Structure 1
């Protein structure tokens, strides 16, 4: 039997030793990997977390929905047509004393401010409130001097002739029934009856002029999804030009299409516009810009919500470079908290290097709040 060369025996021993060392190393690595994976993931992340600082600033939080409020000013018939003929002209909209609202043939029909309707021809010798209304028109037009006494005398007849001449009408000195219609309050935005349309023939007795009743309804019409976002205690800020009014929800109705109509009043139950209603347009329906305040806006010093901590007794504090500082929370929204107790510019600790174990209770529903501008 042949003997192996002497140099081959040491090489075999070396290979065996190498294999043993590799196996031992693999076993050690496997044991270390097992120990590392046994450490909870959140503990590893917490250990790697760094201390983070933030800075308090001036700001505000709150939540509101930009919607539109509708002002409804109901109109009712205030005058019937007493003229027969074809309608040749119409002028609805905003009118004032003596303005023409429609024309039948070549006869213009004018509005006059009066509490009672015109019901007869006005001529010399007639007395009454309808005469006084005509006299006030003549005084305003500069054709009659003195006070309106309700007595159609020679002065009034003379004034009527001058007025008719100015209007390029026949100078009869009297006003036939149908040429004047009474509107309780002028100026006003008036509508015309359905029959008063250019080209249509009138026979008399049709509703001719509709005027506002003086009542005002402020309503908020929203979809079902929007209605779910609006609590009963929400306030509504209504803006028109340089006027702003606060309203509250007084009631609601659901219509057949699924829309909700919220009825609005002033906080004291009165009219939303209060003593400033005269600033509003006279149209039958007006759209007004508004904000539905769901979470009232709070202004002050804001810090990140993560910077506010609570103690076991429920008191709140923040950590500053000089230590803990007690604060009170006035509002929250969109990850921010308005606090009292520190000034804008104060550095506050947001993360302290350890994972948070308990959420900070915030005033209001912070998750649903939106920071105001």
Structure 2
């Protein structure tokens, strides 16, 4: 024996063997883990596909002004339509010059049309003309004429209802300002046996008067021409124009179910969806139920604007939102779905503090609108959260 150590080769071989075994075990463990994530039992797959359990849905208690609104459609129309039918004069009446067009604004003193070379002048008044007015005449129609002339800015000093010199001068000025010769009295036929006059009578020296065919009285001015019914050269047999008199209003139909909610004087928002512009107004009138089937049945409703409606609203189909009720000031509100009746008959909500620990709070309800209801009661303040759905025990 030489006392030398054992060869290292067997030890090294055993070490390699052990490392290989450990490595294989690790690989198999990883492979098994991967397979376990891909291969699932039917029970596990069904459990993972099932919907999640019900969770608690909450909403915040807040303060707001509640408004109950009724929405309907309406059409913008003139308050009153007036057909202009001039009083025919002597001879054939033909429109010789059209002076106004559809959409034109008609003021006091506007020449509505020229008929057989003579003007038809719009004046403010109530009683239609029924006679030619000459110097020396008296009456309510003379008084109306004097008021109209004064409204145009002409000075009239005659006694009310008496056609005198200042009334005549005002008539002359009215015609001359519109480039027309004033109508004058017919000249007296001279006596052939009399000596020739040194100063023959001229139109300027003859008294002026007002023919009833050359004036048209309108109760409310200004107005607007909504339609022209007779063109140049047409013979005047009927109405030649239609005037929109008074401010524009909105007319619609109120559903029978909403009639008890809406009263005259309630505020209204008028929305022109073409332009996106909103104008405020109020309910002016509500008529009796108009018979009809289905959607045709309803109460005629008229809405007037707080200020005059813009001209581009004319004829438009608009949306009307009537504020039928309001709390007037901000009140404590919760969603309607948060309210439930308890077994004792009280009205309650479920208050949800931190940690989802629910507590029933008895409340009194008030006005409701837009999915919210007014509440009051001890234990509920602004900012609290209340349950509105997903309550697992079925309460609510």
Alignment correspondent of 1:330: 366
- Which structure is higher in strand share? 1
* Residue 103 to residue 277, structure 1, CA distance change in 2 (3 Å): farther
* Residue 259 to residue 69, structure 1, CA distance change in 2 (3 Å): same
Q: Does 1:344 align with 2:382?
A: yes
1:232 offset after TM fit, Å? 3.7
Rounded to whole Å, the distance in 2 between the matches of 1:351 and 1:68 is 36
* Residue 116 to residue 313, structure 1, CA distance change in 2 (3 Å): same
Alignment correspondent of 2:341: 310
* Residue 213 to residue 98, structure 1, CA distance change in 2 (3 Å): closer
The question of whether the paired residues in 1 share the 8 Å contact of 2:291 and 2:297 is answered with: yes
Q: Does 1:169 align with 2:204?
A: no
* Residue 206 to residue 87, structure 1, CA distance change in 2 (3 Å): farther
Selected match of 1:220 from 247, 252, 257: 252
How do 1:17-28 residues align onto structure 2 when only pairs under 5 Å count? none
Q: Which runs of 5+ in 1 are unaligned?
A: 1-32, 38-43, 266-271, 361-373
1:104 offset after TM fit, Å? 1.8
Selected match of 2:261 from 231, 234, 237: 234
| 1:75-115 alpha-carbon deviations (Å, 9 max, x no partner) | 35464341412342042654222111112243221111222
Q: Does 1:111 align with 2:147?
A: no
The question of whether the paired residues in 2 share the 8 Å contact of 1:233 and 1:248 is answered with: no
Alignment correspondent of 1:121: 132
Q: Does 1:80 align with 2:86?
A: yes
1:142 offset after TM fit, Å? 3.3
Alignment correspondent of 1:199: 233
Q: Does 1:319 align with 2:351?
A: yes
The question of whether the paired residues in 2 share the 8 Å contact of 1:66 and 1:290 is answered with: yes
The question of whether the paired residues in 1 share the 8 Å contact of 2:60 and 2:384 is answered with: yes
* Residue 312 to residue 104, structure 1, CA distance change in 2 (3 Å): same
Alignment correspondent of 1:7: none
* Residue 355 to residue 256, structure 1, CA distance change in 2 (3 Å): closer
Alignment correspondent of 1:188: 223
Q: So what's the TM-score if we normalise by structure 2?
A: 0.59
Q: Does 1:89 align with 2:115?
A: no
Alignment correspondent of 2:281: 244
* Residue 348 to residue 141, structure 1, CA distance change in 2 (3 Å): closer
User: How many corresponding residue pairs?
Assistant: 299
Rounded to whole Å, the distance in 2 between the matches of 1:336 and 1:257 is 30
1:320 offset after TM fit, Å? 4.3
Q: Which runs of 5+ in 2 are unaligned?
A: 1-42, 185-207, 271-277
Rounded to whole Å, the distance in 1 between the matches of 2:315 and 2:55 is 60
The Cα RMSD (Å) is 4.4
Alignment correspondent of 2:392: 354
| 1:244-280 alpha-carbon deviations (Å, 9 max, x no partner) | 3247854332458963342237xxxxxx65xx88846
The question of whether the paired residues in 1 share the 8 Å contact of 2:158 and 2:165 is answered with: no
What SS does structure 2 have at the residue aligned with 1:251? coil
Rounded to whole Å, the distance in 2 between the matches of 1:244 and 1:163 is 39
| 1:152-190 alpha-carbon deviations (Å, 9 max, x no partner) | 222222332233332222244233331111223333346
What SS does structure 2 have at the residue aligned with 1:170? coil
